[in-house]
Amino acid sequence: MSFCIAIDGPAAAGKGTISKAVAAHFGFAHLDTGLLYRATGAKTFEGLTPIEAAQSLTAEDLKRDDLRSGDAGQAASRVAAVPEVRAALVDFQQAFARREGGAVLDGRDIGTVICPDAEVKLYVTASDEVRAKRRHKELVEKGEEITLEEVLADLRERDERDAARATAPLKPAEDATVIDTSDMSIDEAVAQVLALIGDRRG
C-alpha cells in the first residue's frame, strides 16, 4: 500500500531533518528532491547545459560530496527555474512517491506539482533570520568561510527566485498544513508533525 507525505518549504526551515525523522519513524522511503536539483546544478559546473545535466542524472550523481555547498544551492535554484529541467525530473519523483510501503518527499513543489494527491501535505517554514543562522552554522561546520549576512542575502535571493519562477513556484499547497519552526526545537517540530500524520493515518 502506498502512502505519500509531501513536505515543502524554503531552505533551512527544517524540512529535511523533519522528513528524515518522519520516514524513519514510519519506515517509509525518503527522497530529498532538492538533491536532484543540486546534482543537476553541480553537473553544469562541468560544462553541461541544465537540460543535459538533468537528462543524464544518475543515482551516483546524488552521492557527490559538493551537493551541500553554497554554490550547489545557488546552481540548484537556477536550474530549477528551467521548465525542461523540472519536466525531466518529475517522472522519477512521482514514481518514488507511489512506491509500496510509503514515501516521504521533501522539496519546494511536492504538494503543489509532484504529488498534488499526497495523503499528507506540510509546508515547513521559519523566519529569514532563524533560517540564516541555521544554514550559517551548518556551512561553518563544514569549513566554509562565509558571514551570517552573506548567508541571509543568499537565502533571500533564492527565496525570491524560487517564489517568482513561472513553473512550480515555491508556495504552500492550498490544503497543506503550515508549520513555523522559528521558535521550535527540532524535537518539538518532529513531534508535532508525527502527531499530525498519525491523525491522518487513523
Spatial neighbors of 140 by CB under 8 A, at least 6 apart, are 146
Is 14 one of the annotated binding-site residues? yes
163 is in an annotated binding site: no
Q: Quick check: helix, strand or coil at residue 15?
A: helix
Q: Is 83 annotated as a binding residue?
A: no
CA 44/CA 54 separation, integer angstroms: 9
Is 17 marked as a binding-site residue?
Answer: yes
Q: How far apart are CA 153 and CA 132, in angstroms?
A: 9
Distance CA 172, CA 177 (A): 8
34 by DSSP, 3-state: which? helix
47 is in an annotated binding site: no
| Residue 12 counted as an annotated binding residue | yes
Q: Residue 50's Cα: distance from chain center in Å?
A: 19
Nearest to 54 by CA among 36, 78, 34, 72: 36
H-helix or E-strand spanning residue 178 = strand 177-180
9 assigned to a ligand binding site: yes
Residues of each annotated binding site: 9-17
Residues of each annotated binding site for ATP: 9-17
